[in-house]
Amino acid sequence: MMILLKDIVPSAANSVNTKFILLEKGNIRASKKCVVVNGVNKLQETKECMTLVADESASVHFLLWNTECEAFEPGDIVQLTNGIFSYHRNKLVLRSGRKGKAEKVGEFTMLFVEKPNMSEVQWQANESDAKKLKESVTSTELQKPPS
């Protein structure tokens, strides 16, 4: 089920299905990690790239991973399936994760807003009905408190 960026909540589940347009792309950071594969130590190279993406409801930081880093450019419209919105290196980011997939479906022809930025929203503890109270740090827009 497709959701708008303004409705994503931090979660360990990879269930975010959404569509957005890529606004800005940061530098591609390559790093090597030592992993054990079949009892043998191997050096695994991974690439990461932080981006700012948005749809008509909000923006968020989207982390590109490995082959994704070269595949997407600002202006690309991306469809994300089974993505995950969670903390990664102390930052709240949206990413495709191991089970998700990001695919380019178009370019340019999508409207967007840059505020609120869901990665910069302060999340408070659960209410009993599992709705979170949001306080946007950067947004100058009024937000309706949950009922």
Partner 1 sequence: MNTPAVSEHRLLRAGEHEAPDPTENSLREAFALLRPRLRPPFSLRTSTPSDYHQLVLAIVYGALTAPPRTARTHLVHLHAVVTDGYDLFTRTVLRLSLESYPRLLQPARAQLLWVISELIGADAVGVDRLVVSLLRWVRIGDFSQPNLWLAEGLLRVLCVRWDWLLEEPSVLTSALFLYLRLLADHYRLASDQKVEALKELEIDFCVRVVRQHFDFCMGMGRDLVRLLQDVAFIPEFRDVWKDLLFEPRVFGVPGYSDIWQLYRTRTPVQYFLLGITPEMETRMRFLFTHVKLGNQRRYQEWFARKFLCRPECETVVVDLVRFICCAHHPPNEILRSNIIPRWAVIGWLLKSCRKNYFAANAKLALFYDWLFFDDKVDSIMNIEPAILLMLHSVPEYVGFTQELMEFLFLLIDHYDVDRKDLIAQGVLKSFDMVVRKGVVQSLDLLSTCSLISPLLKERFNVFIHGSKPEAVRDLYLSSDVKTLGGPKKSASCEKTGFSHVKGLVDHLRATMTQAGSNNLQTLGRLLVTFAKLDKQAIDKELGGNSSTI
Q: Toward partner 1, which CB reaches closer, 7 or 24?
A: 24
**Residues 1, 37, 111, 137: which binds partner 1 (CB under 8 A)?**
111
Residue type, 18: T
Task: Kindly tell me which residue out of 47, 57, 82, 103 binds partner 1, with binding defined by CB under 8 A.
Answer: 103
Spatial contact of 8 and 18, defined as CB atoms under 8 Å apart: yes
> Residue 140 interacts with partner 1 (CB under 8 A)?
no
How many Å apart are CA 84 and CA 62, to the nearest integer? Answer: 10
Asked if 80 and 17 touch (Cβ cutoff 8 Å), the reply is yes
33 Cβ contact list (under 8 Å, min separation 6): 43, 44, 45, 46
Enumerate residues 3-62 that contact partner 1 by CB under 8 A: 23
Q: Which position among 3, 57, 75, 136 is part of the footprint of partner 1 (CB under 8 A)?
A: 75
| Residues near partner 1, by CB under 8 A | 23, 67-68, 71-72, 74-75, 79, 102-105, 107-109, 111
